[in-house]
Structures are given as C-alpha cells and as structure tokens.
Structure 1
Amino acid sequence: MWQQELAQLSPELQQSYYNASLLTALNETNSMDAQSQFLVRESLVGTEVSQRLAALDEKRAQFEQSVQSYMLARAAIIDNESLSEYDREQAIAELREPLFDSRQIRRIEALERIYDQNRALTP
C-alpha cells in the first residue's frame, strides 16, 4: 500500500522522497568504521560518489582538527593577562590567518563566538 501511495505522487515529490530516504541512509553510515561506511555508501550511490564522500569526510576531519588546535591556542592568548586587549586581538588575527583561508574566516569567527559563549557558561 505504501508503494502504491508513493507511485501516485508527482515525479517531483517522488524524487524528493527518494532524496530524503537516501540522505537518511547515508547519515546512518556515520557511526560505521571507514571500510563499512564506504561499502554501504557504494551500494547506495556508487563508487565515484563514495570516494568523493570519503574525501569530504577526510577534509572535514582535518578542518575540525585545525579548529580544535586553533581554539586551544586562541584560549591561551585570551588567558594571557600580560597582553592588552589590542595585543590579544592582534595575536589571534595573526594565529588565524595562516590556518584558515578567506572563505573560512567568517565560519571561524562564528565558531569563536559559540566557543566563547560556551566558555562563559562553564564554571
């Protein structure tokens, strides 16, 4: 019955449903080890897309590692009471520039605000 209902939908809605189902299935692979994840993704979207998704996963992991390292170094600068506010801002800008490209700066600044809010809430 469910398949019959789906078949009665417009092609656009059928495609939308398919895309949502595919996205859900791909998200369910996030908790798998890399090899299992690749195999399931390959069965869902093919080898080429699975390779692109694996490369994207690696790129995201590298970015996350860079952000974590940056936030630790940034926190040390902020906690350095011997620096003036201006010197802190300058040191943070100098730290940020070589690590992140211009497309990532706004994202990093947003993450800084989130980090600072969370830090202020933590005793």
Structure 2
Amino acid sequence: MTADVGAQLRKGVVEYCVLGLLSREPMYGWQLSETLTAAGMIASIGTLYPVLGRLREKGFVISFDEASDAGPVRKYYRLTAAGVERLDAFRQQWAPFQNTVQHLIEGNPVHD
C-alpha cells in the first residue's frame, strides 16, 4: 500500500499556512477555506474548522463576529501575539529545513 505523501506533508504545514494567511489580515472561515482549497492544502471547509479549533485552543488565533453586507454575521479569525511568535519561529526554521530536505532527496550531502 502506498501512503499519500502529499497528504502527510499538507497535514504538517496547514496550520502554519493558516497563520501565514491571517498574518496579512483577519479572515472569515469561508475566505480561508477558499484560499486553502484552491492551493490544494485542504479538501474542504470541513477540514478547516478543526484546524482553527486547534489554533484557538493553543492561543494562536482568536475569533470575533462582524456584520456582513452580504448576509449573516461572519466569524473572523486573527492572529494573537502568540500566533505571530509561532509563525515567526516556523519561518526561521522552514527555509533551512526545506534546503536540507531538497539536498537529501536529490542524493546530495548536506554541508554546514
């Protein structure tokens, strides 16, 4: 049986993708879902809400309600200071990690 490597990779980084999107501006769930679905990071909006719940429990995002001209009140999400710190820490580790993995999968030794 072949594992879906892409699914495992997405699962590992989707929370950071949400934090990155929210670092630009607060967004409501549907906006986040559309962006992440279009990028192939989640399958549907149903996949997003458990991620948002985990991020809220960890204190990385908060939600707030805002009136909408196009219908009912929308629940928006924004980063907390802890979320900004978490995203910054990930960004600092991501580039070197990505480079190391690239070298290794190409069969190249990694040098300091």
TM-score normalised by length of structure 2: 0.38
Higher strand share goes to which structure?
Answer: 2
Which of the two has higher C-alpha Rg? Answer: 1
TM-score normalised by length of structure 1: 0.36
Q: Which has the higher contact order (CA 8 A, sep 6+)?
A: 2
